[in-house]
A = this chain, B = another copy of it.
Amino acid sequence: MDQIEIFKALSNKTRLQILGWLKEPELHFPEQPNADFENVGVCVGQIQLKSGLSQSTISEYLSILQRADLINSTRLGQWTYYKRNKEGLKKLSNIINTEL
């Protein structure tokens, strides 16, 4: 993954917030039936609701974050759940500490 795409993904208030929310889902989202935060993450609809932006915008933002390896998705039935990608975040931390 290109470093620049990672930083671009992070250069937006809403996307940054989403990552923060996904760090502690219990704190930011209501209980979900049949889908545990730890395993699958949070579904798009909840994230959209919390963000206040349009459905299409949030869907796009999530895919930007995913392309940057900052989150990943699981499809369950008609829902898509997103959660933090710990690997990717660690890699980012590494870049900061070794290359900049």
- Nearest residue (CB) in B for A5 is B11
Chain A contact surface mostly:
helix
- Nearest residue (CB) in B for A8 is B11
Known: A92-B96, A97-B93, A100-B89. A11 touches B7 (CB 8 A): yes
Interface window among A16-24, A32-40, A55-63, A75-83: A16-24
A99–B94 Cα gap in the complex (Å)? Answer: 16
Q: Does A4 belong to the interface (CB within 8 Å)?
A: yes
A16 proximity list for chain B (CB < 8 A)? 3-4, 7, 100
A11–B8 Cα gap in the complex (Å)? Answer: 5
A19 proximity list for chain B (CB < 8 A)? 99-100
A11–B93 Cα gap in the complex (Å)? Answer: 16
Q: Does A10 belong to the interface (CB within 8 Å)?
A: yes
Q: Is the CB of B13 within 8 A of A10?
A: no
A84 proximity list for chain B (CB < 8 A)? 100
